[in-house]
Amino acid sequence: MIGSIVIVIADLEQSLRGGDMGIATVNPTTLETIQSFAPLSADQIHAKLALADEAFQSYRQVDFAERSQWLLRAAELLEDPNHRQYYAALMTLEMGKPIQEALGEVKKCAWVCRYYAEQAPAFLANQSVATDAQSSWVCYQPLGIILAVMPWNFPFWQVFRFAAPALMAGNVGVLKHASNVPQCALAIEKIFLEAGFPTGVFQTLLISAQQVEKVVQDPRVKAATLTGSEPAGASLAAIAGRQIKKTVLELGGSDPFIVLESADLEAAVTTAVKARMLNTGQSCIAAKRFIVVDEIADQFIQKFIAAFADLSVGDPMQAHTEIGPLATTAILEELEQQVQTAITHGAQILTGGQRWNGLPGNFYLPTIVAEITADNPIYYQECFGPVALVFRVPDLATAVKLANDSPFGLGASAWTTDPQEHDYLITQLDAGAVFINGMVKSDPRLPFGGIKRSGYGRELGLQGIHEFVNIKTVWVK
Ligand code: NAP
């Protein structure tokens, strides 16, 4: 299966030239380099942007019905059982996601395509506003080429949640995907083409991070969105800012997961494990800081440790695997360093705290870290892997204070059956989303994004499709 993925994709794509400039498929389970890809030259980038610009001039005239048909066809391609298996295996090959989760991710991509195919006409319909004019209204028009810089952790989902609304709004997209998922990037381009979108409406640019600057500066590119780390987001926003181009940034997070005395403890523990371990802990909205009130802390921590120890670590291609390798060796080394530094600053390891050596890849054991004081570097850091930080607090107010004591503000989950505590948590937590008695998750129907250093702007929902449009005011007398 893996071999056929590599051969088929490689045969189909002309831009693969076998060079090694850091864009490569490296299997994180075996550390084997499967294939390297030469980055596009300046001339090739220029040609692709010219094609995108030309495509935009006609694509912007295409009506919603036709755009919807193409997006629904993309959903069908994703849902086809053979395709779905193929795309899922490609993700698992390139970044190590457990295969069951990869299959779920492909399904979710189909969902977001269907959602915007159905909802976009209403979201982008003209809105009448009564003024001193004979008639006045607001209409939504596309901007042109939008650059999407995307991360490897959800290699399909991150792209589809950008592309579905952007293309429905009449924009065209160019994708700079993470350097370790080039075959996913090429497969996604192919899906849009096979679905019927005209050539040039969605293109993958196999380029390095350093080449992004030139693309942003190109006058044909009208706006950019980046999902990834803070340094990458800050760099892109600075370049775009100098060009007066809009950006949306979806950056890191260190989401709190607050458990109060009245919580359903079994449900809280089960969800806590899932919320921390999804994608082997490499999710921006993973719960990362577990803040538990003293009354139930002993019980919670005991159950949490037992559940971590039960998780099945191993080959992510196997259906029963729950924890796969980290996507790259650099991520593994950084995580390992974070935990070691935490220990030297007085933290205690309750379980894990070391690599797993059952296979040669980038494996790290599910780990729980406790006794973390505010002067411990890990207190303010994001841990991008299977490492949970546990804090004990005396009461609700202290829990919220600790939760907000973070540079990030992406999501927050809190567990209590007390309605007054719900109100307090919803109003006091500094985050882009608050989930009560549930795990923070993205949903095409709800806006998604953060505050503070987690970024700005929103994806998904009504708000997401309005990010990259000209909100045009019309006044007629
Ligand atoms: P990353 O290094 O920032 O990479 C993300 C993307 O940005 C990649 O395509 C990368 O390309 C590119 N990039 C890196 N530096 C750049 C620069 N200076 N200019 C332009 N592009 C640049 O992120 P990561 O560490 O792989 O991803 C993990 C981070 O993403 C975590 O902090 C996580 O929380 C965050 N994340 C956030 C969300 C969200 O929705 N808020 C979702 C998922 C992940 P190369 O691969 O070529 O370097």
Could you write out the DSSP letters of every residue in 273-290? HHHHHGGGG--TTSEEEE
Q: What is the strand order of the sheet 255-259 is part of?
A: 348-351, 367-370, 387-393, 287-293, 255-259, 411-415, 433-436
Tokens describing residue 282? 């490499």
Tell me the CA distances in angstroms from 394 to 254, 268, 391, 402, 419, one per residue in order: 21, 18, 10, 11, 19
Whole-number Å distance between alpha carbons of 449 and 227: 10
**Considering the chain, what is the average pLDDT of its residues?**
95
User: Which ranges of 258-394 would DSSP assign to H, the alpha helix?
Assistant: 265-277, 294-310, 329-344
By the 10 Å C-beta count (0-12 exposed, 13-18 middle, 19+ buried), 329 is classed as middle
Domain with CATH 3.40.605.10 in the chain: 6-251+454-476
Whole-number Å distance between alpha carbons of 53 and 198: 12
The active-site residue, picked from 250, 336, 421, 467, is 250
By the 10 Å C-beta count (0-12 exposed, 13-18 middle, 19+ buried), 471 is classed as exposed
Instruction: Report residue 388: phi and psi, to 5°.
Output: -105, 140
pLDDT at 20: 38
Is 139 marked active-site? no
Cα 65 to middle of ligand 1, angstroms? 34
Pocket test of ligand 1: the residue of 229, 247, 335, 442 to mutate, having most ligand atoms within 8 Å of its CB, is 229
Whole-number Å distance between alpha carbons of 55 and 171: 10
Tell me the CA distances in angstroms from 21 to 13, 31, 281, one per residue in order: 18, 17, 28
Please list the ranges in the chain whose pLDDT falls under 50.
1-21
Residue pointed to by tokens 């870290």:
369
List, chain by chain if needed, residues with CB within 6 Å of any ligand 1 atom. 149-153, 176-179, 208-209, 212, 226-229, 232, 235-236, 250-253, 284, 382, 384, 410, 450, 455
Is 250 marked active-site? yes
- CB atoms near residue 436 (< 10 Å): 17
Return all residues near 404 (Cβ < 8 A) that are at least 6 apart: 428, 429, 430
What is the position in ligand 1's atom list of the atom closest to the CA of 239?
19
**Which secondary-structure segment (H or E) carries 194?**
helix 182-195
pLDDT tens-digit map of 401-452 = 999 999 999 999 999 999 999 999 999 999 999 999 999 999 999 999 999 9
Whole-number Å distance between alpha carbons of 439 and 158: 19
Domain with CATH 3.40.309.10 in the chain: 255-443
- CA–centroid distance for 403 within its chain: 22
Whole-number Å distance between alpha carbons of 92 and 25: 11
pLDDT at 366: 98
Of 66, 292, 296, nearest to 170 by C-alpha is: 66
Cα 328 to middle of ligand 1, angstroms? 13
Cα 228 to middle of ligand 1, angstroms? 3
**Fold of the 255-443 domain:** Aldehyde Dehydrogenase; Chain A, domain 2 (3.40.309)
pLDDT tens-digit map of 147-177 = 999 999 999 999 999 999 999 999 999 999 9
Cα 73 to middle of ligand 1, angstroms? 29
pLDDT at 21: 44
* CATH number for the segment(s) 6-251+454-476: 3.40.605.10
Question: Which amino acid residue places its CA nearest to atom 2 of ligand 1?
Answer: 229
pTM of this prediction?
0.95
pLDDT at 7: 36
